[in-house]
């Protein structure tokens, strides 16, 4: 589904988000041609800030697609908020329940309808101290294997100046530079038709995250580190306390 037939509430969301970001950011967009205008696509951005969804939504909309984000199902049960999320075609996701399979079915249906579904493979903002990508979770890979739709890597740098999760600092000055670059689809052809085993999904996820890391390095410059690994759960401490990079 392209952005053209929006309706009132989606147009309202566009006016609010674009008005704020037009003042708040100075944008460099590249690679929009990789977000094809027809057919389902999985958009896989890196995750460096709570401001990422606003910036990536602006980029995806300017590229001619309507972004469909995943949201906790509980949000969709909040009066007014849930109603608006439904009107804006966002997708509720149940986590850790027997209804999680229904969430996967909803994502598959959105892609088969031609939607542009946004999945953050890391699952949360990166805990790597310098905001390089972490090893990802397997949701995007599982969805790609189930549907065969392309995975488009989208690297961004600059949203951490809008809100830095390491120190909870909000940047309020206007025209903060942000750069978003979409790349060509990740080559996942070697896994087409494979059984979605843990090993297969992890290999696919690493391929997606390494592409994201390398695209981010092109924006930031320098040599990127290996994908950061979350420490074992029992060894984790509160995130960002003392810049340890804990999970």
Residue pLDDT, tens place only, 141-159: 999 999 999 999 999 999 9
- What does the pLDDT average to over 191-210? 97
Looking at domain 7-243, which CATH architecture does it have? 3-Layer(aba) Sandwich (3.40)
Hey, CA dihedral for 133, 139, 144, 149, is it positive or negative? negative
Residue-range domain boundaries for the chain: 7-243
Q: What is the pLDDT of residue 41?
A: 98
Residue 71 near residue 43, CB atoms below 8 Å: no
Q: What is the pLDDT of residue 242?
A: 38
Q: What is the pLDDT of residue 52?
A: 95
DSSP secondary structure, 117-166, as one string? EE--TTSSS--STT-PPBPPPSHHHHHHHHH---EEEEEEESHHHHEETT
Inter-helix orientation angle 7-24/52-62, to 10°: 110
Q: What is the pLDDT of residue 238?
A: 46
Q: What are the Cα distances from residue 33, in Å, to 29, 62, 91?
A: 11, 11, 25
- What does the pLDDT average to over 225-242? 65
For the whole model, what pTM was predicted?
0.89
């Amino acid at each position: 589904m392209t952005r053209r037939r929006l309706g009132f509430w989606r147009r309202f969301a566009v006016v609010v988000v674009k008005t704020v970001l037009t003042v708040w950011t100075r944008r460099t967009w590249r690679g929009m041609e990789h977000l094809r205008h027809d057919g389902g696509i999985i958009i896989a951005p890196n995750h460096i800030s709570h401001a990422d969804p606003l910036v990536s939504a602006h980029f995806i909309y300017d590229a001619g697609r309507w972004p469909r984000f995943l949201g906790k199902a509980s949000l969709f049960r909040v009066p007014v908020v849930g109603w608006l999320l439904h009107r804006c075609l966002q997708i509720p996701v149940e986590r850790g329940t027997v209804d999680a399979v229904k969430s996967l079915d909803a994502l598959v249906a959105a892609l088969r309808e031609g939607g542009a579904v946004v999945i953050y493979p890391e699952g949360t903002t990166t805990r790597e101290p310098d905001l390089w990508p972490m090893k990802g979770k397997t949701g995007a890979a599982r969805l790609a294997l189930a549907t065969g739709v392309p995975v488009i890597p989208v690297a961004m740098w600059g949203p951490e100046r809008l809100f830095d999760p390491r120190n909870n600092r909000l940047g309020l000055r206007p025209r903060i530079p942000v750069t978003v670059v979409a790349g060509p689809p990740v080559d996942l052809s070697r896994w087409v038709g494979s059984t979605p085993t843990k090993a297969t999904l992890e290999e696919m996820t690493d391929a997606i995250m390494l592409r994201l890391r390398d695209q981010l390095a092109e924006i930031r410059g320098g040599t990127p580190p290996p994908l950061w690994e979350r420490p074992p759960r029992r060894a984790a401490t509160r995130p960002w306390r003392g810049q340890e990079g804990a999970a």
